[in-house]
Amino acid sequence: QNNKRPLYGTITSPNYPKPYPNSNESTWNITVPEGYHISLNFLVFDIEPSENCYYDFVKVMADGKELGQFCGSVNSLTNPTRRQFVSTGTQMRIHFQSDFSNELDGDIVPYKGFMAFYQAIDKDECAPPSDNSATWTPPCEHVCHNYVGGYFCSCFPGYHLQSDSRSCKVECSSEMFTEESGFISSPGYPEPYPPDLKCNYSIRLEEGLQISLSFQKPFEIDYHPKARCPYDTLEVFAGDMMLNSFCGSDSPGMVMTRSHTVDIVFETDDSGDSKGWSLHYTSEAIPCPNPKAWDKYTIISPKQNIYRMRDYIVVTCQTGYKIMEDRKELGSFSTICQKDGTWHRPIPRCEIVTCKDPPVLTNGQYKFLTAPGNLEYESVIQYHCNEPYYKMVTAKDSDTFTCSAQRQWKDESGGNKIPLCIPVCGKPDNPVTNFGR
Amino acid sequence: ILHGKKAAPGNFPWQVFISRMGRAGGALIGEHWVLTAAHVLQPENEEKEDNDPTKVHIFMRSLDVNQLLKIGNYPVEAFYVHPKYRRGRYDNDIALIRLKNPVVMGENVSPVCLPSPEDEDDIYQNHRNGYVSGYGQTENRTIANELRYVSVPVVSWSACETYVNDKKLKVKDVSERQKYSLTRNMFCAGFPEESLNKGDSCEGDSGGAYTTPNRQDTWVATGLVSWGIGCGQGYGIYTKVSNYLDWIKSYTEKD
């Protein structure tokens, strides 16, 4: 009789398991929270039998109705142990009553009484009543979701749940889409759309993107064969310009808007039974022209078939070449495809690098083994000392130097120390000789 | 040079003409280095030691003194006298002169080599001939304005020692006698026949190189003209360059 009792429990007759007292009346009121109903089972039942259970009995009541009055022992027909009592509502009442004696043929008979188990059971509010009562009203206008202890409602796409948490209404006057792709459909699609709609679906994407609309099937908007869309209309705007208006049952298929702002306006009159429309929109950036190298020394990466907004390329040169932009040498170069489909910097050129004049060798000189005077990458020079008065000393036995990609003259080992010319000693040009003997 | 010959161009391209208190010789041993005798730079007759390098004038590139003077001198950056040299004695009579600017070698000027340890047995052996050149006094007691040279043989150390000691006995002045000391840092070269007109180096040749073509026919500076008892009257005494290779290289190899 306490509302705060747990969601399950047992009820026993007075003095149970000892015989119940005479002239006793007891009542139990079971209450569970909203969203539940009550299930009751008798586990033990031993009440003085009588015709119509007139003397002693247990009465079960729920939902304003009496579910039965019971007495007897295990095998009697009026015993309720094989039944499950289930309430529709949140309350159940058990009433026990005994008369002044329990005698049979002058002998006192002890009756044990009863023990019952009750529990709260989640109520599926979404399910219609099993007795198909005509008065049942679904708890949700569109979709009902049951959960333990309650339920909630939701609406079909394009509809909004109203403040009563039950009914759904179309609200599509300012639908905004900012993802680069997505789906849009008429309210309730593919079920017939409601009357008196004035929907506006706005797609707003970054400048430089171009939106394409792909209308799906079924496509069905009320029309008249001899007048252009007199009832319901679907209009597509690109920016401020209307591209087209549609009705009927022929899907427009693909619509290329070439704009990054699109509005789809759908207006219906007060009648009709058409299924409506749906579309998948996608967007693509404006492609930039394929970058072309000016010469075979230019390396463009990454290589792509199409370059679109935000794609960028890096230009490098082959070894021994340098990047030149407007006669200015660059350490590195990259350019990005802009929203208007142009590259933000034109592709530069690659020019061969040159070395400075080779270091002068004191008491020696160099000569070109490649084209004389050419200081470009991979030109080769060889040093010589002024013989016979000097001889060469080299770091790694190399007198040959090549103009490297780093614009330095390097020997075969990669060193840049030029040889030394050191004087030859003890070798006179004209040693003294005596001819006379 | 006594009883020598006029040198031809290219005979002794290492010959350096040094002018300080008087004339002297030297030997070019590298682009920056001239080897000479210590007493050329710190002579006995100088009142006090003067280490001013600007007073040392170096000439090269010609065999003619007048021409040398016209060509001009090679500025001296510094000179280094052997630390064990003492004025008035001739032991360790060796010095190095560092030139401010490198010498550009050619037909008329190129260095002489220093002897290698392998050369020693060859170039200092008794009777081994070598050549000494210079602009010093000739047999006519005139100075040579053109480079002259003479070939003189090495004399054994014992023969030289005997010769020097004999001469020493005839000297009465004690301080003079001290100069007559032959050390192992010296060797003698010349002819024993006193009465003959024989070749020798003489005053003005000091510091010049006594050179020997070694077995590889490379000319090496075997000695430096150091001292003697008169000229042409016995052996000339030369600084033994091979004893100073480490000292020389301690300077030159820094380059």
Cβ contacts (< 8 Å) between B29 and chain A: which residues? Answer: 425
CA distance, residue A356 to nearest chain B CA (Å):
26
How confident is the model at residue A194, as a pLDDT?
Answer: 85
Question: Would you call B39 a catalytic residue per the annotation?
Answer: yes
Band the pLDDT of A159: cuts 50, 70, 90: confident
Question: Would you call B32 a catalytic residue per the annotation?
Answer: no
Cα–Cα distance, A237 to A231 (Å, whole number): 19
Reported ipTM? 0.93
Task: Please say if the pLDDT value at position A158 is more than 70.
Answer: no
Q: Give the distance, in angstroms, between the CA of residue A165 and the centroid of all CA atoms in the same chain.
A: 27
pLDDT tens string A3-13: 555 789 999 99
Task: Please say if the pLDDT value at position B155 is more than 70.
Answer: yes
Cβ contacts (< 8 Å) between A423 and chain B: which residues? Answer: 30-31, 103, 105, 110-111
Q: Of B62, B133, B201, B206, which one is the catalytic site residue?
A: B206
pLDDT tens string A23-36: 999 999 999 888 89
pLDDT tens string A410-430: 999 999 899 999 999 999 999
Band the pLDDT of A109: cuts 50, 70, 90: confident
Cβ contacts (< 8 Å) between A390 and chain B: which residues? Answer: 105
Cβ contacts (< 8 Å) between A424 and chain B: which residues? Answer: 105, 110-111
Q: Of B93, B119, B200, B205, which one is the catalytic site residue?
A: B93
Mean pLDDT of A15-44: 92
Mean pLDDT of B4-27: 95
Task: Name the pairing type of β-strands A113-122 and A36-46.
Answer: antiparallel
B7–A432 C-beta distance less than 8 A: yes
Task: Please say if the pLDDT value at position B238 is more than 70.
Answer: yes
Q: Which residues pair with A300 in a beta bridge?
A: A315
Task: Name the pairing type of β-strands B76-81 and B148-155.
Answer: unpaired
Task: Please say if the pLDDT value at position A2 is more than 60.
Answer: no
How confident is the model at residue B50, as a pLDDT?
Answer: 86
Cα–Cα distance, A255 to A265 (Å, whole number): 15
Cα–Cα distance, A355 to A370 (Å, whole number): 14
Task: Please say if the pLDDT value at position A1 is more than 50.
Answer: no
B105–A424 C-beta distance less than 8 A: yes
pLDDT higher for A217 or B168?
A217
pLDDT tens string A344-400: 999 999 999 999 999 999 999 999 999 999 999 999 999 999 999 999 998 777 899
Closest-CA residue of A relative to B104 is: A363
Cα–Cα distance, B139 to B205 (Å, whole number): 13
How confident is the model at residue B194, as a pLDDT?
Answer: 66
CA-closest candidate to residue A221, choices A256, A240, A197, A257: A197
CB count in 10 Å sphere of residue A388: 12
By Cβ distance, the residue of B103, B112, B131 closest to A425 is: B112
Band the pLDDT of B211: cuts 50, 70, 90: very high
pLDDT tens string B35-54: 999 999 998 877 788 889 99
Q: Give the distance, in angstroms, between the CA of residue B16 and the centroid of all CA atoms in the same chain.
A: 10
Closest-CA residue of A relative to B13 is: A428
Task: Please say if the pLDDT value at position B189 is more than 60.
Answer: yes
Cα–Cα distance, A151 to B57 (Å, whole number): 119
How confident is the model at residue B15, as a pLDDT?
Answer: 98
Q: What's the maximum distance between 2 C-alpha atoms anywhere in chain B?
A: 50
Question: Would you call B57 a catalytic residue per the annotation?
Answer: no
Percent of residues in chain A assigned helix, strand, coil, to nearest 5: 0, 45, 55
A432–B131 C-beta distance less than 8 A: yes
Sole residue written with tokens 């037909």: B107
Q: Which residues pair with A382 in a beta bridge?
A: A367, A400
Mean pLDDT of A220-232: 91
B110–A425 C-beta distance less than 8 A: yes
pLDDT tens string A245-270: 999 999 999 999 999 999 999 999 88
Mean predicted lDDT score pLDDT of chain A: 91
Question: A20: Cβ–Cβ under 8 A, 6 or more apart, which residues?
Answer: A13, A14, A56, A96, A98, A111, A112, A113
Mean pLDDT of A207-211: 92
Element holding B177 (H helix, E strand) = helix B174-178
